[in-house]
Amino acid sequence: LHEHELTYSVIVSEEHPEMPKTVTEAYRVISEGILKGFHHLGLDAYFAVPKTAEQREALKSPRSAVCFDAPSWYELVVEGRKVAGSAQTRQKGVILQHGSIL
């Protein structure tokens, strides 16, 4: 399933001064590093951000369990295709964000 991907993990304290308190904003901050990496490679990557209420509602009910089926908030897209996806968990004051890059 993840044979031709690069995986990553970031571990940071929830108390880090540059880490937002909300999951979505912390996800954005961590993912900005990956976005900058894509830009350094010369790729026109951007964050997926739903613009309409319909798009936001669709994120609550994904079409499938396949990670790269469709982008979610702040996931990376190149040429209309999701190229990186991540998940985040918080336990005992620590944030773990793990993801895959195609």
Looking at the structure of the chain, the number of domains it has is 1
Residue 1 domain-assigned?
no
Residue 69 domain-assigned?
yes
For 72, the domain range is 6-101
Catalytic annotation on 67?
Answer: yes
Terminal C-alpha separation, the chain: 12
pLDDT at 44 over 90: yes
- Over range 57-76, report the average pLDDT: 58
pLDDT digits (tens, 9 = 90+) for 3-41: 789 999 999 999 999 999 998 899 899 999 999 999 999
Given the residues 67, 76, 84, 95, select the one marked as catalytic.
Answer: 67
Structure tokens belonging to residue 88 = 């985040």
Residue 19 DSSP label: S
Q: Is 3 in a helix, a strand, or coil?
A: coil
pTM of the model: 0.74
The CATH number that applies at residue 50 is 3.30.930.10
